[in-house]
Structure formats: structure tokens, C-alpha cells
């Protein structure tokens, strides 16, 4: 019996149904659901996740995938779907179901233990569960490792294909070499800058009005997007005609909501511009975590922190907040949103020091996965690395090792994609500057033409092409740290 791509249809539909349900429940839990809904709704999510896993492991799917792999009759999109299905099968099949469920249970409780430990700033509470998560993660990675492959490389592959330690080590080494000095240089120039006006009270309802305006300005039409609020801003999508973002308002930090909106807006534009024929398929999202992050950070930093971006917008912001900004000229506002200041918290970091926070986590993950760093010594090692790279030392674990949720969720190997995203963005930006008068377009409020360029070169392909290949096609060369460091250097010198 010969297999045809059509045989996958009922399975792909089931998958679309389950994924959309999971997305919607997840969105609801973070935005509107009442506090006490969490536990029971989580059991529904778990049932859906099990159903999804079962669907992926259906023997019929495996047979069809095996029969069709490498078939010349497949379109590039279909071949990409087969590739994704094959990768998922390999990830899941090597882990015995009983172990998979036990691990899922552990993760379900780990997040709340982490949250409690963080609020009490007490690492010893989290230590035993982190130890277990790490053991499981290492074991699963060893099941899936190719001969000679290190466990950490297995995990890195899950998030970004083609970026193992062999590629990441020299990348991070260059950041380690250049960024601390660059941050010191920026601080030196900025000593006289006064950005106190960005730390006064800004009425939250008025902030909402501006951020809604800003999202629409970016091209997030209310006909296809929704904007809500959550503790930690994020983007999610059901398909290309229903993309949702959140932001978070702090009364005395208006820049926080603004840059969260622009960041998540960048993620959203990616999802909104995926080709219609790809959406609701396994390749209907972004090419990879790093490529997704490249788009959000491109809008947030490389566009959103430029003076030209604010030329058409700043008057509106001033008119909404006349007391706070009425006498502040555009130039000072732009200085304020570009302040470089080494701090303790990754999500609040400026553009120059951001990747140093990622470097710390990369080094720690590498040491933990290799068994060179005992979990009990993690807080001290964390603090020491912060002191070395950023010159600051956490006074408690809450503002140190407990600040991110990733490890509680078993996401080892994810952090590097934040730094890679910034580096991809710079490399893509260089090539855009050769083809478009970016500054002029921004000044004239023609952001749509910039988005159009990205949609054409990146967004529309969804996950059909691997991220590394896409990056090379867009920028005309393989990945390197050059564009990123050139960009940051030019920026600091322009202050």
C-alpha cells in the first residue's frame, strides 16, 4: 500500500484542534481566569497534552512519515511538515511513557514551589526539586543523545538546530570579551543624563490608551489581534487571524509597558504574516525561538529605541502626559530610553548588558549539565558570575538565582536563544539598511514598509526553512557575532 500526504490529514486536524485548545486555555489562565481556577484548569490542560502526545505517537503517523520521507512528490511545505513530525517522534519515542508522566507531574509542582521560594527569597526550598528536574533532564537527554553527543547539546538542539556548544562557546566568548567594557564606556558618557522624568507617576489608564494606540501604529489591527494584561508579557496565537499579546503596567515605569508592547508586537507581526497556506499546520509558527526573538528585539531595540521611531509618536505621548513630558524635548526622551545600567534582573536589562545576563545562565547550565556544579553551590556561583560580568551582586536569591521560571519548567538550553535573537536581529538589520532607508521611513511613520520587508524575507516562510538557513539567505552570510557587536559599538559611540 502506498502512502500519500493526504493520509496525514485527519491526524493534522486533530493536532490543530488540540493545540488551539491548549493555546486558548493557556492564554485564559494568564489573563482573565480567576486565581483559584488554576489547579482544576491545569488538569484539563494535562489531558489535552496527553491526547496531543498520543496523537503524535499514532502508528499510522509513523508509517506515513517513514513512507514519505525524502519523497520527490512533496512540496517544500509538506517536506517541512514531515521533517517536524519526524523530529517530534524521535523526541518522544525514546522516553518511556511512565517516566514521561512522572516528569510531567514533577514539573507541574515545581513551578509553584519555585514561585513560593522566589517570593520568600529562599533557594533551599527550591533546591531539592531543582535537583530532581536536573536529574530527569540529564537522563532524558542521554536517552536521546547520538553517539558521542553531550547531554547539553541535545537540549540546545531542541530550541535551535545547528547551534551546539561548539558554535555558542566562541559566540559567548566574544560577548564576554567586549560587552563589559562597552557598558562601562556607555555609563561614562551617560553620567550627566537625567532620566528622572521617566520615573514619576504616569496614570495607568492613560498608559493603556497610549499602548493601544502604539500597537495599532505598529500594524496590530484589532480585527486580527487582541491585547490584554498579564504579570509577564507574552505573545500567543491560534492562527494568523487571531494573534494575542499582553503587556504589564507599572505606574512609575511607563517605559516598561511601552517596550513590552513593542517587543510583543514584534512577535505578533511575525505570526500575523505567516503565509495563509501554512497557518494551522505544524510549520505555521516562527522558524525557531531565536528567530522569533530576533523579530521582537528588532522592533523593541533596533527600531523602538531610535530617535526616528519617536518623531511621529512623541507628540502624542507628550499630549497624554503634559505634566511629565511637556517640557522634555525628544532628544532627552530618547536618551532616557537608552540608558545603560548594569543591573540584577535580566528582563529589565538595557540593550548593552542584556546578553551578559544570558551569558551567566549559559555558563551555569553548561556546568550543571556536565555535573561540574552541584545544585547547592548554584546561588553562590550565580552571584560570583554577576559580580564578574556585571559588577553587581544580588543581596538575596530572589533577585539572583530564583528570578527566572525556566529551570522550574525544565527548560534547560532555552536561554541562549535570547542572546542569539539579538544577534540575528542585528545581522538582519544590517542587510535591511542596505535595501531600505530605515531611518527615513521611521521618521515618516512608514513602519508598514519595514514590516513588509520582514514579512517578505522572513515571516511568510513560517517554519518551512530552518532558522540558520533563513538567516543566511536574508543576510547573505552565515551567523556570527560581528553585526551584533558592531551595532552595539556604533550605538554607544553615538551617545
Does position 236 interact with Zn ion (CB under 5 A)? The reply is no
| Per-residue interface string for the shown chain with Zn ion, residues 278-297, x marking contact by CB under 5 A | ------------------x-
Angle of CA points 230, 235, 239, to nearest 5°:
130
What does the alpha-carbon distance between residue 473 and residue 484 come to, in Å, rounded to a whole number?
17
Q: From 353, 319, 408, 390, select the one nearest 134 (Cα to Cα).
A: 408
215 Cβ contact partners less than 8 Å away, ≥ 6 residues apart: 225, 227, 245, 261, 265
Interacting residues with Zn ion between 404 and 433 (CB under 5 A): none
Q: Distance between CA atoms of 148 and 423, rounded to whole angstroms?
A: 29
The grid coordinates listed for 11 are 491526524
What whole-number distance in Å separates Cα of residue 265 and Cα of residue 243?
A: 10
CB of 357 to Zn ion, least distance (A): 14
Query: Residue 231 CB, nearest distance to Zn ion (Å)?
Result: 15
Residue 54 designated active-site: no
Query: What is the rounded CA–CA span in Å between residue 478 and residue 459?
Result: 19
CB of 86 to Zn ion, least distance (A): 28
d(CA 480, CA 223): 39
The answer to whether residues 401 and 378 touch, using CB atoms and an 8 Å cutoff, is yes
Q: For CA atoms 454, 455, 459, 464, give the dihedral sign.
A: negative
The least distance separating Zn ion from the CB of residue 156, rounded to whole angstroms, comes to: 18
Closest contact distance (angstroms) between CB of 293 and Zn ion is 5
Task: Please give the grid coordinates belonging to residue 314.
Answer: 512623541
Residues touching Zn ion: how many (CB under 5 A)? 1
Give me the least distance between CB of 160 and Zn ion, in Å please.
Answer: 14
Report how far residue 427's alpha carbon sits from residue 105's, in angstroms, rounded to the nearest whole number.
41
Q: Which of these is catalytic: 19, 77, 160, 264? A: 264
Catalytic residue ranges = 264
What residues make contact with Zn ion under the rule CB under 5 A? Answer: 296
Amino acid at each position: 500500500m502506498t502512502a500519500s500526504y493526504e493520509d496525514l490529514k485527519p491526524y493534522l486536524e486533530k493536532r490543530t484542534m488540540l493545540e488551539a485548545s491548549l493555546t486558548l486555555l493557556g492564554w485564559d489562565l494568564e489573563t482573565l481566569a480567576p486565581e483559584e481556577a488554576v489547579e482544576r484548569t491545569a488538569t484539563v490542560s494535562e489531558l489535552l497534552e496527553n491526547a496531543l502526545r498520543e496523537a503524535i505517537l499514532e502508528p499510522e503517523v509513523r508509517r506515513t512519515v517513514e513512507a514519505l520521507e525524502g519523497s520527490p512528490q512533496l512540496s517544500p511545505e509538506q517536506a517541512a511538515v514531515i521533517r517536524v513530525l519526524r523530529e517530534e517522534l524521535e523526541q518522544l519515542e525514546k522516553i518511556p511513557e511512565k517516566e514521561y508522566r512522572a516528569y510531567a507531574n514533577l514539573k507541574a509542582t515545581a513551578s509553584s514551589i519555585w514561585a513560593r521560594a522566589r517570593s520568600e527569597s529562599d533557594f533551599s526550598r527550591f533546591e531539592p526539586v531543582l535537583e530532581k528536574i536536573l536529574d530527569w533532564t540529564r537522563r532524558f537527554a542521554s536517552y536521546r543523545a547520538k553517539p558521542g553527543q553531550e547531554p547539553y547539546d541535545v537540549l540546545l538542539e531542541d530550541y535551535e538546530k545547528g547551534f551546539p556548544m561548539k558554535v555558542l562557546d566562541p559566540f559567548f566568548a566574544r560577548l564576554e570579551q567586549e560587552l563589559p567594557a562597552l557598558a562601562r564606556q556607555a555609563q561614562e558618557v551617560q553620567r550627566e543624563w537625567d532620566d528622572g522624568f521617566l520615573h514619576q507617576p504616569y496614570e495607568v489608564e492613560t498608559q493603556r490608551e497610549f499602548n493601544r494606540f502604539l500597537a495599532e501604529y505598529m500594524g496590530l489591527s484589532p480585527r486580527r489581534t487582541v491585547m490584554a494584561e498579564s504579570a509577564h508579557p507574552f505573545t500567543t496565537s491560534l492562527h494568523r487571524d487571531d494573534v494575542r499579546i499582553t503587556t504589564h503596567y507599572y505606574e512609575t515605569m511607563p517605559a516598561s509597558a511601552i517596550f513590552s508592547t513593542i517587543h510583543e508586537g514584534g512577535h505578533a507581526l511575525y505570526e500575523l504574516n505567516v503565509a495563509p497556506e501554512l497557518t494551522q499546520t505544524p510549520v505555521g509558527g516562527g522558524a525557531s525561538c531565536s528567530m522569533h526573538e530576533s523579530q521582537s528585539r528588532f522592533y523593541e531595540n533596533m527600531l523602538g529605541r531610535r530617535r526616528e521611531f519617536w518623531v511621529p509618536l512623541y507628540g502624542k505621548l507628550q499630549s497624554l502626559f503634559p505634566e511629565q513630558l511637556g517640557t522634555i524635548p525628544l532628544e532627552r526622551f530618547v536618551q532616557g530610553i537608552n540608558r545603560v545600567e548594569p543591573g540584577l534582573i535580566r528582563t529589565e536589562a538595557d540593550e548593552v548588558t542584556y546578553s551578559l545576563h544570558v551569558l551567566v545562565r549559559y555558563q551555569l547550565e553548561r556546568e550543571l549539565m556536565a555535573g561540574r556544579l552541584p545544585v547547592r553551590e548554584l546561588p553562590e556561583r550565580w552571584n560570583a558570575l554577576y559580580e564578574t560580568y556585571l559588577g553587581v551582586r544580588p543581596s538575596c536569591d530572589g533577585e539572583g538565582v530564583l528570578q527566572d521560571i525556566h529551570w522550574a519548567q525544565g527548560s534547560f538550553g532555552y536561554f541562549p536563544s535570547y542572546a542569539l535573537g539579538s544577534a540575528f536581529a542585528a545581522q538582519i538589520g544590517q542587510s535591511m539598511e542596505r535595501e531600505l532607508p530605515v531611518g527615513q521611513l521611521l521618521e515618516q511613520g512608514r513602519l508598514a514598509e519595514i514590516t513588509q520587508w520582514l514579512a517578505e524575507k522572513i515571516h511568510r516562510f513560517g517554519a518551512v526553512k530552518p532558522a540558520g538557513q533563513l538567516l543566511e539567505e536574508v543576510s547573505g552570510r552565515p551567523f556570527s557575532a560581528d553585526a551584533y557587536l558592531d551595532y552595539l559599538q556604533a550605538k554607544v559611540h553615538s551617545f
